[in-house]
Structure 1
Amino acid sequence: MSEESWAVAVDVQEATAPSIQVDFSKKVDRPRGPRDIRGDTNGNSKPEKTEDAIVDMAEQSLLNKLIRKSLVRNRNQVEVLQQDPTSPLYSVKTFEELRLKPELLKGVYNLGFNRPSRIQENALPMMLAQPTQNLIAQAQSGTGKTAAFSLAMLSHVNPGNKWTQCLCVSPTYELALQIGQVIEQMGEFCPDVKLAYGIRGNRPERGVKLQEQIVIGTPGTVLDWCTKYKLIDPKKITMFVLDEADVMIATQGHRDQSLRIHRQLTKDCQMLLFSATFEDSVWRFAEQVVPDPNIIRLKREEETLDTIKQFYVICREKEDKFTSLCNLYGCLTVAQAMIFCHTRKMAAWLVSNLIAEGHQVSLLSGQLTVEQRAAVIERFRKGQEKVLVTTNVCSRGIDVEQVSLVVNFDLPVDMAGNADNETYLHRIGRTGRFGRRGFAVNMVDSKHSMDIINQIEMHFNRSITKLDTSNLEEMEKLMS
């Protein structure tokens, strides 16, 4: 990751709540040694390296955190499976109902939180319950889950005990910093609660037990602190949080290190595990880590195509595609558009040609750092650029209400060359958001491309209308 200055956006409760940012001055500095909840970081070591597989997933997770400065409007229903089905199911609509310490409640409201998010309504009572309860929760970036388990840790610790009581493991340095920043801000009015970062390059004095009640870190360093350097007594840990579990198990090393940390803990330690996805591999891992869990998961909401008109355009080559795209702009009143290309080279070619035509265009590709991508998306969201040309980097998780047109300049295909229906759905789902009408136009430049369109039609049981972009009168009629 780049060491250039960047800002970390903290999830806040409502779309109307103020955006809260923590600025790192000059560099993303690594904290060294003990620190007060209210203190500043110092030190300047480089972030730890990870394998490509986990970097891709973790970067996407971090990107989602950076671009979501308010809670996502999640319409998914929350499904709660209690370990004890006879126990009453508690949920809260206000933070006051949780009977938090006044200083914590003040920290919550100071962050701009107004009321609990959907997942917090059910998760917080379980996380704060006495006797303690274990939890496995499906929670994506922007749902308020980081704030939820941060609040749980701050509520859980006994400030009078000068040893580590809460341990949170995250797959990368950057994501660990994200969590730490939330805890610091939420715990601003808890001066006796201390926080330490268990990340590579942070080397407290050997043989001296940490006095910080909360440690946030990456698996390898935290494991060393527990076993090699004896900075933490695992038997005194009473709450263990494992965040981004699906990212964590993307590499064998992180998975094994997390399990080794877990084996050091007592049976009475409260276990909380969070994952954006609940694939079989995640479930198997969660079952190893969290005994007798309560489970919170999102009921899958099928993305609807009802508000999206779908078309295909027959073209011969990329120049024809570009001409058709320009004709679309001549016919449609386009608020903002997203155009998907298969390769970076094609995306760059298209951007240069659109700029030559006078369009305000930005390019989003995997060559950009996470921070640069977040900045591009933020400018697009603010309307500073009207057209966003991208590869698959941007197909998921970006909700911009003004997007009225999605163009598949290149159709999405899987490794076998068949239609990638899931990617297609995510791509065209960037338009028609929040009940608005949207248009999806697919460029077809070969018999194989036409086969892809037919596969997509069969999969979704929807017809895709042929569009002649050279016939403006027909276009206006079909797209009205």
Structure 2
Amino acid sequence: KNHFKKNTGSNVVQNKIPDEGGEGDGDKVDLAEQSLLNKLIRHSLVKNRNQVEVQQADPNSPLFSVKTFQELRLKPELLQGVFNMGFNRPSRIQENALPLMLAEPHQNLIAQSQSGTGKTAAFSLAMLSHVNPDNTWTQCLCVAPTYELALQIGQVIEQMGKFCPSVKLAYAIRGNRMDRRVKLQEHIVIGTPGTILDWCTKYKLIDPKKITMFVLDEADVMIAMQGHRDQSIRIHRLLNKNCQMLLFSATFEDSVMKFAERVIPDPNIIRLKREEETLDTIKQFYVLCREKEDKFTALCNLYGCLTIAQAMIFCHTRKMAGWLACSLIKEGHQVALLSGEMAVEQRAAVIERFKNGREKVLVTTNVCSRGIDVEQVSLVVNFDLPVDVEGNADNETYLHRIGRTGRFGRRGFAVNMVDSENSMEIIKQIEMHFSEISF
């Protein structure tokens, strides 16, 4: 069982520091940017022990899974592309999804899997296998929520199809102007919902009735974005009823499932269970302080008494994160700063340096609270405790933040800075929320 342990930096507790960033709810996390960030920094599959659940449309049909790519009987040039990308054997999601996606007759699929599990490679392989290069029209449509995510998917297809020069790819993204007098001859089109809808209806570059595979990626991000959900449904309505439908989502919330059931008839469903984030291996402490300068002193003292592999320090606002990073640098500590006003490529570069160990300490806002796994992180500091818009404890964000340490069964430490009666109340709310924490 985990215990919050008190370490008194000072005995005086004053009122909470006002929000210094002018951002009442802290640094917002954009789902599409978070997804792109994960794609940019993941160069290999995440090692996991996740269990896969398969719910088949036809429960009487035998359930197939594969342990090697050779078992899929792919075209030799496509198999060469897979191995050239460094995929030696299928991931957990690929073992179960690929036989369903490549089956004859075609089967529809709804799949849940997190970033780094190989799902983009799985549906890219399915599209490349599906295409008949002799047919000079678009046969596969892949819809992504943003043009950056569409480009990332396209890069995977281009790499995997490196030895299949006869298969052509087009990007239906903003700024990509096509000759509107002739229909596309590219076999695979990847793009955003609005542009793909225009290419199918307004400009008639694509005959939607000839599409035989439709992939909808990042469905949870898609339905969270204004207009994308309805545009995706409109595209779906244009397609032939015999078109194979594949939908992928990182989460299976009610809104996602309602959307999926609306666009994917008679689906097979695959769930890749997320390993439960546990507090069992994380020792948690709080430090009583007077104000932000007192919190800073307590933070510097941590360096003197702990051997830190790598540390992540969370602040509520961009302004506070900037102040703290500058203050630590002045004290001679090597620190990287990560916050929401940075371009997503800049954030990816910072995280890449942190993952490679070139930066030991990362000061950040909630933009880095979930989905970033760095095995060497041994300490997480909540310089500001996570709160929701009403000022109550944000328990989910707390779990995601301290879950950056204690990864992969290792032991970790989480230190919470308490600077007021209000933040002491937040600590108590967090204790009450997590039943496994003793009081």
TM-score by length of 1: 0.84
Between stretches 260-269 and 247-256, larger displacement belongs to 247-256
| Structure 2 match to 1:61 | 35
Aligned length: 412
| Structure 1 match to 2:241 | 267
Shift of 1:300: 4.3
SS in 1 for 2:257: helix
Letter in 2 for 1:340: F
Q: Is the CA contact (8 Å cut-off) linking 2:184 and 2:206 kept in structure 1?
A: yes
Unaligned runs of 5+ in 2: 1-27
| Structure 2 match to 1:75 | 49
Q: Give yes or no for the alignment of 1:135 onto 2:90.
A: no
Shift of 1:201: 2.0
Q: Is the CA contact (8 Å cut-off) linking 2:29 and 2:340 kept in structure 1?
A: no
Match of 2:402 among 428, 432, 443: 428
Q: Is the CA contact (8 Å cut-off) linking 1:166 and 1:240 kept in structure 2?
A: yes
| Structure 1 match to 2:82 | 108
Shift of 1:345: 1.3
Distance 1:129 1:192 in 2: 23
Q: 1:439 to 1:464 in 2, by over 3 A?
A: farther
Q: 1:159 to 1:463 in 2, by over 3 A?
A: closer
| Structure 2 match to 1:353 | 327
Distance 1:262 1:461 in 2: 44
Shift of 1:76: 2.2
| Structure 2 match to 1:336 | 310
Which one has more relative contact order, counting CA pairs under 8 Å at least 6 apart? 2
Q: Is the CA contact (8 Å cut-off) linking 2:311 and 2:362 kept in structure 1?
A: yes
Distance 2:224 2:78 in 1: 35
Per-residue CA shift, 1:137-181, capped at 9, x if unaligned?
Answer: 112221111110010000001111111111111111111111111
Q: 1:116 to 1:162 in 2, by over 3 A?
A: same
Distance 1:463 1:294 in 2: 39
Q: Give yes or no for the alignment of 1:412 onto 2:383.
A: no
Q: Is the CA contact (8 Å cut-off) linking 1:337 and 1:405 kept in structure 2?
A: yes
Match of 1:117 among 88, 91, 109: 91
| Structure 2 match to 1:258 | 232
Q: Give yes or no for the alignment of 1:362 onto 2:341.
A: no
Letter in 2 for 1:413: V
Distance 2:275 2:425 in 1: 28
Per-residue CA shift, 1:339-394, capped at 9, x if unaligned?
Answer: 00111111111111111111110100001100000111111112212111011111
Q: Give yes or no for the alignment of 1:438 onto 2:412.
A: yes
| Structure 2 match to 1:159 | 133
| Structure 2 match to 1:5 | none
Matches within 5 A, 1:270-309: 270-309=244-283
SS in 2 for 1:320: helix
Shift of 1:301: 3.0
SS in 1 for 2:247: strand
What is the RMSD computed on CA atoms of the aligned residues?
Answer: 1.4
Q: Is the CA contact (8 Å cut-off) linking 1:311 and 1:464 kept in structure 2?
A: no
Distance 1:382 1:210 in 2: 43
Runs of 4+ in 1 over 6 A off after TM superposition: none
Shift of 1:94: 0.4
Per-residue CA shift, 1:120-149, capped at 9, x if unaligned?
Answer: 000000000000000001122211111100
Distance 1:246 1:428 in 2: 24
Matches within 5 A, 1:85-100: 85-100=59-74
Q: Is the CA contact (8 Å cut-off) linking 2:101 and 2:108 kept in structure 1?
A: yes
Matched residues, percent identical?
85
SS in 2 for 1:223: helix
Unaligned runs of 5+ in 1: 1-53, 466-480
Distance 1:245 1:446 in 2: 41
